Amino acid sequence: MKPQTRSNEAGWVLLEAVLLGMIVLGSAAAIGIFARTALLEEHAAARMEAALLARARFSMMEADLDQGIPPPPVSLTLTSNGRVYRVETTVVRRDDFYDVSLRLSWQILGREEQADFVRRLRQHVHAESTP
């Protein structure tokens, strides 16, 4: 009877080892999914912030253009929500229009990301009303 008891115990130890291994693999997979989700959320937040910065920059250029100040091709650095964005502006004039391109770049975990935005601007003309 003794040898059969040892083989039964060996079977339980093997089953416990397999179950423990499955628990460890499941935990590692859950942590990996959580880390990947957090990284994707960080990328999405940075890209959305870049879009909002570009929108604000275009609005400021359009307001300046309405005052008679053409948009300048400049490079500048902006900080928003603790992240540093480098903005490179290129301007091409075509007749009454200004084709403005913004390239925003930033770093996430040592890797550089960038997004390009383009808008066509034109000075708004105020029409005089006649009675």
Mean pLDDT of 84-89: 96
From start to end of the chain, where are the E strands?
Answer: 75-80, 83-94, 97-108, 111-122
Phi, psi of 26 (to 5 degrees): -65, -40
Residue with tokens 């928003």, as numbered in its chain? 80
In 3D space, the residue among 90, 100, 102 whose CA is nearest the CA of residue 65 turns out to be: 100
List, in order, residues 6 or more apart from 58 with CB less than 8 Å away. Answer: 100, 102, 117, 119, 121
pTM: 0.73
Provide mean pLDDT across the span 34-58: 94
Indicate the pLDDT class of residue 76, thresholds 50, 70 and 90. Answer: very high
